[in-house]
Amino acid sequence: MDWLLPLPKPGETPARALTIAGSDSGGGAGIQADMRTMALCGVHGCVAVTAVTVQNSVGVQGVHEIPPGIVAAQIRSVASDIGVQAAKTGMLSSAPIIEAVVSACEELGIGHGQSVPLVVDPVAASMHGDPLLRSDALDALRTRLIPQATIVTPNLDEVRLLTGVEVTGEVSQRDAAEKLLEMGAEWALIKGGHLRSSPESRDLLMSDAERHELTSYRVRTGHDHGGGDTLAASIASALAHGHSVPAAVTFGKRWVTKCLESAYPLGSGHGPVSPLWRLDPKDD
């Protein structure tokens, strides 16, 4: 398959990307999904852990936040020595952690209009509805993190929380994208959840100057834990390889569609999307 991102040759330093996100003890989402995705997209993944979740296939039983200063120190340590060509945020949990992440990113040239692109996946809740962001942190997400985003990739619940727009069709999809651009994001990707009965999923990618519609085949599976993380991490991986935002999103959509097709059951609840199909030699 010629659309895959190249894996590094043995001994060669790969492109690097940083995930700033929470740990999922069940291994399906969060930094675990990000690291799997990055590795299989030929990228060395670095990590700034924001929170440790106690989690399995049926839900989140606990959250332990990492002190904001330690989150920022992880970002500074990695960026100043290893260097990254892209970064991504996932679960940030609290306003002080958001503040610390934004300050470190500003200082290191990561984000909107800077040399290192930042993918913001504005994680608010798990698929079971367990909160992964404190309700008093929404404002910090809107006013501090979204303006720092090269691209923001909310799901439809997060779109509603951030913009108040209920996406039901093409007009509201564009309305939501415009609101996120007004908040200061460089690009907004809005998923086409209104067409749930259709065999296709139509997403809208928009900046102030460009508009792209991305259509992909809709995979029906009960096991889609980590799907949003996997999409954002694959976009960050393509950006780390030097691709443009529209090319990276086109890649990410194909990647996550393949991962949804390979999702597997786990425990007694929801299983994760899986990138392990990439290990099949037939796909080289």
CB of 284 to ligand PXL, least distance (A): 29
Query: Can residue 37 be called a binding residue for ligand PXL (CB under 6 A)?
Result: no
Query: Which amino acid does the sequence have at 32?
Result: Q
Q: How far is the CB of 27 from ligand PXL (least distance, A)?
A: 10
Nearer to ligand PXL, 41 or 133 (CB): 133
The site string for ligand PXL over 212-231 (x = CB under 6 A, - otherwise) reads --------------x-xx--
- Cα 281 to Cα 44, 260, 278, 284: the distances in Å are 21, 19, 8, 5
> Nearest approach, Cβ of 282 to ligand PXL (angstroms)?
29
According to DSSP, the β-strands at 151-152 and 200-207 are unpaired
Residue 275 interacts with ligand PXL (CB under 6 A)?
A: no
Candidate list 19, 53, 74, 94; residue touching ligand PXL; CB under 6 A: 53
Instruction: Give the pair of three-digit tokens for residue 24.
Output: 């999922």
Q: CB of 122: closest distance to ligand PXL in angstroms?
A: 10
Q: Residue 203 or residue 229: which is nearer to ligand PXL going by CB?
A: 229
Angle at 271 between CA 56 and CA 249, to 5 degrees: 115
Q: Which stretch binds ligand PXL (CB under 6 A): 15-23, 104-112, 139-147, 275-283?
A: 15-23
Out of 5, 17, 18, 21, the residue judged to bind ligand PXL by CB under 6 A: 21
Q: How far is the CB of 33 from ligand PXL (least distance, A)?
A: 7
Question: In terms of CB distance, is 129 or 199 closer to ligand PXL?
Answer: 129
The least distance separating ligand PXL from the CB of residue 21, rounded to whole angstroms, comes to 6
Residues 6+ apart with CB under 8 A from 56: 25, 26, 267, 269
Please say which residue, 14 or 28, places its beta carbon nearer to ligand PXL.
28
Give the phi and the psi of residue 199 in degrees, each rounded to 5.
-75, -5
User: Quick check: 187 and 89 in contact, CB under 8 A?
Assistant: no
Angle at 192 (CA atoms; ends 191, 196), nearest 5 degrees: 125
What residues contact 105, with CB distance under 8 A and at least 6 apart? 75, 87, 111, 118, 148
Residue that has been written with the tokens 């780390």 in this structure: 240
In the complex, the residues that contact ligand PXL under the rule CB under 6 A are 21-24, 29-30, 53, 55, 90-91, 123, 126, 132, 226, 228-229
